Structure 1
């Protein structure tokens, strides 16, 4: 495949030309060099696998390419950081046609250009296995206070989500919009205290936020009902699970989980609960029903090592 690899790298250099002002060394050398404005740089990485995060038998390569970049862009939004540069490394099946490889990179290119994130390098290998793609992305904080973390929730804060949840496998997991624009608006608001993206399911990701912040969470059933997507309701009719269960545990929503003061309602976020003190022996997360019943909520979602 050496001739094919050489030709592919030359095509990539032409397709992703380096802006010398920000990327003095781009694709083609042993390492890239980038100029950033901030002394603090955030780094995120995502590896996506055929058969786990996408299915090459059902999904087009351009959509797959879009998703692999969008996942890292969502991580940037979650920490209120502007994406600046990325590397993409691929393990290509030996049977994959060069036309399909280019289609994959076209999907990567279009969303990278949309969010002004330069593709500056990566690695290309081939093997007998299925397609695997790894993205590493550099980003700069949107606000002087630095990246927003999941560990800084405050007692009494409202818990919001940025959009409807559940049923993403109906197609939204490939076409979601990374919440970069919303993150820019939130980043400079003092009412924002903590944030992360919802990639593995609301109940599991909220559990992680509570553990990191040393707090508990109370979700309100009536508010959660307004955050259930139409896709989740449609999926519930097919598989017998409740729409709420889909919203809490499907994952791949890539909405923002936002924690802060009531003033954040002005951003048209969906409130779903509140941050509570963590008490010994008590459930870390509960759902409160309109009649006053409180039901424990277990963290359920997608975990790779289970």
Structure 2
């Protein structure tokens, strides 16, 4: 299977910058500016944890595997440059078609973000599908956006809408690479990350790195239609799903209050940005519910076991 897959890869066309070497040699090579910082992220997804093989296409698996890494690059307001794709596939005759489909799904998304697949590996075993992607990126400015740096009084904001990702968004979301670059270049952001496990788990991670507390207002959350659908099924409030469902892969960031005011009047992109709370000096993290009552923000988001 491996040799047949390598032959398939050899016939694929990939856009590479001048002076770069992609799939076909023992290692890839990328041109790199002497003053530019390298950023690297990697993530692994697998059958029955991040997707159900019998419910999705191979292309959807490949797309998600790359997209979650592009979201991590976006979280640091950086530009993706190239990706490595590694496949661990079930033994059997269907493995080659599965490998091709996964690559195709990743390659299509890679092309749209200027992030060619430049290498990787493949193997088979008597188990389930697992896909690992590593993305290399560059920092266009002097410093990437980090989780540390949030200041008391900062506005807490998010892109897009939240909740209900299990109904399909976790397979089809757009990494916020372009939005992150524009935000970081035109507004003074203090800290940021992406929302992978839900605000109730991810925001405490940012606050811990920044050594601050926070207060989130459930009345301000941008709730997706899917979160409302989940609410009808589970009986939990739609705002609960917006806080806890996870795999939204939207940006979560903080910025000074005056910058938030300027952002609210000057942001013209189609992806909405919403203020959802305020950074405070100390923990615990708090939630204002729909009745205006303050209560602890409980970490009820998705946790990988």
TM more than 0.5: yes
Which of 26, 32, 50 is the aligned partner of 1:36? 32
Instruction: List per-residue Cα deviations over 1:54-109 (Å, max 9, x = no partner).
Output: 11100111111111111111111110010001100010111334223212111111
Q: Which residue does the alignment assign to 2:237?
A: 242
Q: Flag the 1:241–1:91 CA change in 2: closer, same or farther, 3 A.
A: same
Q: Which residue does the alignment assign to 1:21?
A: 18
Q: 1:291 and 1:251 mapped to 2: Cα distance?
A: 24
Which of 210, 218, 223 is the aligned partner of 1:228? 223
The question of whether the paired residues in 2 share the 8 Å contact of 1:61 and 1:100 is answered with yes
1:242, distance to aligned residue in structure 2 (A): 1.8
Q: 1:181 and 1:258 mapped to 2: Cα distance?
A: 15
Equivalent residues in 2 for 1:258-277, closer than 5 Å: 258-261=253-256, 262=260, 263-265=262-264, 266-267=266-267, 268-277=272-281
Q: 1:146 and 1:186 mapped to 2: Cα distance?
A: 14
Which of 206, 211, 217 is the aligned partner of 1:209? 206
Q: 1:102 and 1:289 mapped to 2: Cα distance?
A: 48
Q: SS at 1:254's partner residue?
A: coil
Q: 1:94 and 1:289 mapped to 2: Cα distance?
A: 50
Q: SS at 2:11's partner residue?
A: helix
Q: 2:132 and 2:19 mapped to 1: Cα distance?
A: 23
Is 1:82 aligned to residue 79 of structure 2? yes
Q: Which residue does the alignment assign to 2:105?
A: 107
Q: Which residue does the alignment assign to 1:157?
A: 154
1:22, distance to aligned residue in structure 2 (A): 4.5
Q: SS at 1:274's partner residue?
A: strand
The question of whether the paired residues in 2 share the 8 Å contact of 1:18 and 1:26 is answered with no
Q: 1:158 and 1:135 mapped to 2: Cα distance?
A: 33
Q: Flag the 1:168–1:22 CA change in 2: closer, same or farther, 3 A.
A: farther
Is 1:256 aligned to residue 255 of structure 2? no
Consecutive unaligned residues in structure 2, runs of 5 or more: none
Q: 1:220 and 1:114 mapped to 2: Cα distance?
A: 35
Q: SS at 1:140's partner residue?
A: strand
Q: Which residue does the alignment assign to 1:98?
A: 96
The Cα RMSD (Å) is: 1.6
The question of whether the paired residues in 1 share the 8 Å contact of 2:4 and 2:96 is answered with no
**Which stretch of structure 1 is more off in the superposition, 29-38 or 250-259?**
29-38
Q: Flag the 1:264–1:22 CA change in 2: closer, same or farther, 3 A.
A: farther
Q: 2:60 and 2:197 mapped to 1: Cα distance?
A: 20
Q: 1:248 and 1:291 mapped to 2: Cα distance?
A: 17
